[in-house]
Amino acid sequence: MKLHEPVLGGPCWAELGTGDLEAAKRFYTRLFGWRPETDSRQQAGGYTIAHLGDAAVAALTPLYQPAQPVAWNVSFAVRDADAAAQQVASAGGAFTQGPVDVFDSGRFAVAVDPTGAVFQLWQGRSFPGAGLFNAPGSLGWVELLTREPERAADFYTTVFGWSVTASDRYPQWGIDGADFGGMVTMDDKFPHEVPAHWLPYFAVADVETAAADTTDGGGTVLMEPVSPPDGPRIAVLRDPQGAMFGVYRAGDERER
66 and 103 inside one domain:
yes
Task: Report how many domains make up the chain.
Answer: 2
| Contact between residue 182 and residue 145 where contact means Cβ atoms under 8 Å apart | no
Q: Which residues pair with 244 in a beta bridge?
A: 238
pLDDT at 31: 98
Of residues 65 and 159, more confidently modeled: 159
pTM score above 0.85: yes
Q: What is the pLDDT of residues 85-125, one digit of tens each?
A: 999 999 999 999 989 999 999 999 999 999 999 999 999 99
157 and 94 inside one domain:
no
CA distance 158 to 156: 5
pLDDT at 76: 98
CATH code, domain carrying 221: 3.10.180.10
51 and 104 inside one domain:
yes
In a domain, 178, yes or no: yes
Range of the structural domain that residue 155 is part of? 139-255
Among residues 92, 124, 156, the one where a domain terminates is 124
Please provide the distance, in angstroms rounded to a whole number, between the alpha carbons at the two ends of the chain: 8
- Whether residue 256 is predicted with pLDDT greater than 60 in this model: the reply is no
In a domain, 90, yes or no: yes
219 and 178 inside one domain:
yes
In a domain, 134, yes or no: no
Point out the least confidently predicted range of 132-141, 168-177, 217-226. Answer: 168-177
- Whether residue 186 is predicted with pLDDT greater than 70 in this model: the reply is yes
In a domain, 225, yes or no: yes
Grade residue 247 by pLDDT with cuts at 50, 70 and 90. Answer: very high
pLDDT at 253: 61
pLDDT at 177: 85
Percentage, residues of the chain above pLDDT 90: 84
CA distance 21 to 48: 9
Angle, CA of 183, 187 and 188, to the nearest 5°: 160
* Backbone dihedral angles phi then psi of residue 52, each to the nearest 5 degrees: -120, 110
Among residues 66, 95, 124, the one where a domain terminates is 124
113 and 156 inside one domain:
no
Grade residue 229 by pLDDT with cuts at 50, 70 and 90. Answer: confident
In a domain, 131, yes or no: no
103 and 168 inside one domain:
no
In a domain, 101, yes or no: yes
Of residues 230 and 7, more confidently modeled: 7
In a domain, 175, yes or no: yes
- Whether residue 46 is predicted with pLDDT greater than 90 in this model: the reply is no
Gyration radius (Cα) of the chain, Å = 17
185 and 210 inside one domain:
yes
pLDDT at 45: 85
24 and 118 inside one domain:
yes
Provide CB contacts within 8 A for 192, sequence distance 6+: none
- Whether residue 200 is predicted with pLDDT greater than 60 in this model: the reply is yes
In a domain, 205, yes or no: yes
- Whether residue 230 is predicted with pLDDT greater than 90 in this model: the reply is no
